[in-house]
Amino acid sequence: MSLLDPFLGPTRIAYLSMEIALRPDIPTYSGGLGVLAGDTVRSCADLELPMVFVTLASRDGYLRQFIGADGGQIDAPDPWSPERHATALDAAVAVRIEGRPVWIRPWLYLHTCPHGGSAPVILLDTRLEENAPGDRGITDRLYGGDEVLRLKQEAVLGIGGERMLRALGFEIRTWHLNEGHAALAPLSLLARHRIGDDRPAAGPLRYDPDPVRAACVFTTHTPVEAGHDRFSYDLVARLLGDFFEIEQLRLVAGPDELNMTRLALNLSGWVNGVAARHAQTARGMFPGYRIRAVTNGVHVPTWTSPPFARLFQSVTPEWAHDPDVLSRMDRLPDDAIWQAHEEAKAALIDEVQHRCGVTLRQDHPIIVFSRRMTGYKRPDLLFTDPDRLRRIAAALPFQVVLAGKAHPRDEGGKALIRELHAQARAMADSVPVAFLPNYEMGLAKIMVAGADLWLNTPMPPLEASGTSGMKAALNGVPQLSVLDGWWIEAWEEGVTGWAIGGDGSRPEEHAADLYAKLEDVVLPLWHHDRPGWTRLMKAAIARIGSRFHSQRMMRRYASEAYLR
């Protein structure tokens, strides 16, 4: 009997994602998309939803970040062994790429929740003897290489994933595509619905899209046109050959190039953005499609720090399994909340000391900014006017902790990391600034809980949702954020946190708005009104933690998208 057997009968839903953050020592993710997929796995096990997950093995991970003497990012592979954490399953499928069969074998990783529910995750691996040496590494490095490798990886995920679930014996009724990377899966399904060979290839669609649309659910995450994966039809023809006639493919994936988002939109009967504002932006980008909104959420027991977990447990043992009850946490005594926070903050201060030798004070507030280091997230916004920052700190001291990786080919993101290090050195006399290398799940858990204030400064409307502020809120950390993504839905000024600027205000004014809010409202409250600050901490847990969790998200997908 195979470990998979108990799942084969009941499972009806497949979830495909290029990245899934399963646990800190399995680096098969790069950032928010993968963490969301991981929280989806965890909630699926909690709720005992009949789902199977598919991703790539990514044996070399995404990237392990070191910081050089010049403050620049040095990126290295981040290897892990599926052999140590997963079980090899006895199946193999092939996808023809560049005329050669590329064989794929599956690993099974089983996630089990404390209540006993579990969720199977299939990791697709091409590192096999039977493959040509040049094909073995296709699934090794997440988002590694150029667009040629990217299309090969997407072929393995989409076409290989669809074939693999069949080969393993799953009978899937619903295919959930987490971002456009998986859009070749519905194409693989469409290829099974040919309706006669008599019509010319350039004519109308010779395939029946209706059963495919009935089966596919697509979640888009990218609010900019340039962010969507596209491939020239020359490349598609060279790599995938006659897998799908190019003239026919143009009808569903765009006339000029293969646009993965368009392909997913055309072949999915249920489409959503990841926050209300993002769905609205996506509708503007892709008129004519019905795009709904399911706001992202985070997995509560994963992102709650030990001191807050103990506190919640003392109110109700159900908090981890039924996070809606967090709405009652506003009744917790102030000093219990503060005590739990002090403990989580001490853990962050230790981590900072240990990882970068910077000594932070427990009695000054810590502002944390940690996210992917890339232009639109504006990690440098806080440092727009260093003198202003020094003046604020002279009256109302604070400390800053930063972290985040830049994609190896994002030169702008790498320049930001160097610049942040230069700012940290220049500020050292008046504002302690620490940059923690190699931001990953484990570090994130310490940072979201140890912060006094979570800072979020993306350029609207580019933050589709964002989730790290939700993790902070669970630990009683209020956020100061630009009005974009999920924050538009959670923001109650002075109650759950604060806005930087107004909705639709000019991005050039955000730095001034940020300084004004810090100087006039946020830091005075922290320094001079502890009961007022604690009230915000409790509201963050009760009003945000009870709503922006991944169980609510999965209940919505289950009732609205999967059971349609």
Ligand X SMILES: *Cc1c(COP(=O)(O)O)cnc(C)c1O
CB of 449 to ligand X, least distance (A): 12
Q: Which span sits near ligand X by CB under 6 A: 234-242, 325-333, 461-469, 555-563?
A: 461-469
What's the closest the beta carbon of residue 377 comes to ligand X, in angstroms? Answer: 7
Give 471 or 510: the residue with its C-beta nearer to ligand X: 471
- Judged by beta carbon, residue 368 or residue 518, the one nearer ligand X is 368
Binding flags for ligand X, 145-164, as an x/- string (CB under 6 A): --------------------
Half-sphere exposure of 483 (CA within 13 A, CB side): 15
Stretch that binds ligand X, among 98-106, 141-149, 348-356, 463-471 (CB under 6 A): 463-471
Neighbours of 42 (CB within 10 A): 25
CB of 42 to ligand X, least distance (A): 13
CB closer to ligand X out of 27 and 158: 27
- Closest approach of ligand X to the CB of residue 303, in Å: 8
Q: Is 381 in the site for ligand X (CB under 6 A)?
A: no
Least Cβ distance, residue 359 to ligand X (angstroms): 25
Q: 38 vs 254, which CB is nearer to ligand X?
A: 38
Strand-strand pairing, 64-67 and 73-76: antiparallel
**Strand ranges in 364-516 using DSSP code E only, listed in sequence order:** 366-370, 399-403, 433-436, 453-456, 479-482, 497-500
Question: Is the backbone peptide bond immediately before 461 cis, with ω within 30 degrees of 0?
Answer: yes
Contact region with ligand X (CB under 6 A), list: 82-90, 434-442, 503-511, 543-551: 434-442
107 within 8 A of 91, measured Cβ to Cβ: no
Q: Which string of x and - marks every residue 30-49 that binds ligand X (by CB under 6 A)?
A: -xx--x--------------
Smallest separation, CB 448 to ligand X (Å)? 8
CB of 30 to ligand X, least distance (A): 8
Signed CA dihedral, 358, 362, 364, 368: sign only:
positive
Residue 62 or 218 with smaller CB distance to ligand X: 62
Nearer to ligand X, 36 or 95 (CB): 36
CB of 444 to ligand X, least distance (A): 3
The least distance separating ligand X from the CB of residue 213, rounded to whole angstroms, comes to: 29
The reply on whether position 444 binds ligand X by CB under 6 A is yes
Give the residue with the Cβ less far from ligand X, 170 or 303.
303
CB 283 within 8 A of CB 289: yes
CB of 465 to ligand X, least distance (A): 7
Of 298, 242, 292, 299, give the one whose Cα is nearest residue 272.
Answer: 292
The rounded distance, in Å, linking the Cα atoms of 413 and 227 is 15
Among the candidate windows 53-61, 200-208, 379-387, 460-468, which touches ligand X by CB under 6 A?
460-468
Alpha-carbon distance of 323 to 309, in angstroms, equals: 12
C-alpha atoms less than 13 angstroms from C-alpha of 182 in its C-beta half-sphere: 28
User: C-alpha angle 293/299/303, rounded to 5°?
Assistant: 130
Which two three-digit tokens encode residue 460?
Answer: 């609207």
Judged by CB, which is closer to ligand X: 263, or 403?
Answer: 403
In sequence order, the 6+-apart residues with CB closer than 8 A to the CB of 251 are 204, 205
Distance (Å, rounded) from C-alpha 430 to C-alpha 412? 27
Site string for ligand X, 464-483 (x = CB under 6 A): --xxx--x------------
Nearer to ligand X, 364 or 372 (CB): 372
State the DSSP code for 463. -
61 with 78: CB under 8 angstroms? yes
Show the site string, 285-304: x = touches ligand X by CB under 6 A, - = not: --------------------
Measured from the Cβ of residue 483, the count of other Cβ atoms closer than 10 Å reads 17
CA dist 467 and 464 (Å) reads 10
Number of residues located near ligand X, criterion CB under 6 A: 12
Stretch that binds ligand X, among 29-37, 230-238, 256-264, 426-434 (CB under 6 A): 29-37
| Strand locations in 371-503 (E) | 399-403, 433-436, 453-456, 479-482, 497-500
Interaction between residue 440 and ligand X (CB under 6 A) = yes
Contacting range for ligand X; rule: CB under 6 A; set: 56-64, 178-186, 437-445, 497-505: 437-445
Binding track over 355-374 against ligand X, x by CB under 6 A? ----------------x---
Nearer to ligand X, 23 or 556 (CB): 23
Taking the alpha carbons at both ends of the chain, their separation in whole angstroms is 34
Q: Taking the complex as a whole, how short is the minimal distance between the CB of residue 10 and ligand X, in angstroms?
A: 30
Near ligand X by CB under 6 A, which window of 61-69, 422-430, 436-444, 521-529? Answer: 436-444
Give long-range contacts, CB 8 A cutoff, 24+ apart: 411-417: 412/374, 412/375, 413/372, 413/373, 413/374, 413/375, 414/72, 414/73, 414/373, 416/373, 416/374, 416/375, 416/379, 416/380, 417/67, 417/71, 417/72, 417/73, 417/373
H or E element in which residue 107 lies: strand 100-112
Select the span of 103-111, 190-198, 203-211, 435-443 touching ligand X (CB under 6 A): 435-443
In the complex, the smallest distance separating the C-beta of residue 310 from ligand X, rounded to whole angstroms, is 22
Of residues 24 and 79, the one with the C-beta less far from ligand X: 24
State the nearest-atom distance from the C-beta of 441 to ligand X, in Å.
5
Across 405-551, the runs of DSSP E, i.e. the strands, are 433-436, 453-456, 479-482, 497-500
Query: What residue ranges bind ligand X (CB under 6 A)?
Result: 31-32, 35, 371, 439-441, 444, 466-468, 471
